[in-house]
Each structure stands twice: as C-alpha cells, then as structure tokens.
Amino acid sequence: MFGLLRSLIELLIVISVIRSVINYIRRLWYSNRTPRPTMFRQRTPPQQPQEPGSTLLQQDPVCGTYVSVETSLKKLVKGQVVYFCSPECRNRYQV
C-alpha cells in the first residue's frame, strides 16, 4: 500500500520537474526570438498647429519617415544638411 503511494508521489515529482524544464527552455527560446527594445524613444513636446502646406518635409534616410524641417534633428554631412526623426536614427546613420 505504502509502496504504491510512494511510487505515485515520485511519479508526480518527476512529471513536475520535466514540465518545469520544458517551460524554462520554451521561455529561453521565445525570449531570444522576439526583439527587445534597446532604448525608449523620447517624446518631443507638442508643437503649435500650423496651417496645412506651410511645412517643408524631408525624408529620414534611416527609417524613411517624413519629418518637418523645422522640428527635425539635423546633421551636417559633406556640406549637406540631413534630417532625422529621432536621436536613434541620427546615431545609426552611416555615410
């Protein structure tokens, strides 16, 4: 009687350990597959609304978004001004 009860408890412990190991491996696998954000993008303060068509837009060469010339980050490269939407894009830009 006690031998059967002991075998049942050992079986439950082995099953629990195996499930824990499988869950741990699964978490490691999925954490490596999903990209983690490296930096949080800083928000710029809201700008005053302007009339439509009064702002000149330039394309960010890194991510391709269009940014306002007046509010964008600028960098002088080989005598030309390049416009960026964020500090991350400006730092990743390579000539």
Report, as an integer, the average pLDDT of 20-30: 89
- pLDDT one-digit tens code per residue, 31-82: 776 555 555 556 666 666 656 555 788 888 888 888 888 888 888 888 888 9
**pTM for the full model?**
0.43
Residues 2, 31: one domain? yes
DSSP code of 44?
P
Count of domains for the chain? 2
Helix (H), strand (E) at residue 73: strand 73-77
| 51 within domain boundaries | no
Domain of residue 65, residue span: 57-92
Contacts of 81 by beta carbon, 8 Å cutoff, 6+ apart: 74, 75
Confidence of residue 18 (pLDDT cuts 50, 70, 90): very high
